[in-house]
Amino acid sequence: MTLIAAAGGSIRGLLDLYSAVLAWQSARNKHIKEGGEPSERPSFSASCDLAPDLLAAVFHVVLGAFAGFVLVLTGQIESSLMALLAGAAAPALLQQMVTVKWRLVQARAFGLDGGGQTGRFAQPAQGEPASLGKATESSAADGGRRDPEHG
């Protein structure tokens, strides 16, 4: 499946190359319609910088293989088609995974992970006025209840 995902990663590189070929074709057709000299037609290198594009394609293949490996390892994908599509979407998928993970880390650091809110962002208890919803640190010793002296 990882090889299929890597093949999916190559789809992105092929689409980029296809876009460069279309831009080259468009520039050449424009030149011909404007009556330009055949010897002055735009070259392919004017529309595509091949070395960086090939390097980007290699990275897309590697990212596709990595995304496929991770998704197969975690049981997220089970078919060849899903592996191919995951490989093609690898840069976006991996960026989304990193963003979600980072947000979870931030939420836990600020006590916003939904598991017993504490700290600066604690919410008032059920039926308690919002003005009494000050941040208080609870401990396992008091069972998470608020200290009556501090609201």
Alpha-carbon 66 to chain mean position: 13
Predicted model pTM: 0.58
Tokens of 150: 């501090």
Tokens of 145: 């209840």
Comparing CA positions, the residue from 34, 56, 31, 36 lying closest to residue 46 is 31
Tokens of 123: 């919410």
Angstrom CA distances, 53 to 1, 47, 92, 97, 131, stand at: 25, 11, 18, 25, 59
Comparing CA positions, the residue from 75, 86, 76, 60 lying closest to residue 5 is 86
Spatial CB neighbours of 18, under 8 Å, sequence gap ≥ 6: none
pLDDT tens per residue across all 151 residues of the chain: 889 999 999 998 888 889 999 999 999 999 999 988 888 888 888 888 888 888 988 999 999 999 899 888 999 888 999 999 999 998 888 888 888 888 888 888 887 765 554 545 555 556 555 554 444 444 444 444 455 555 5
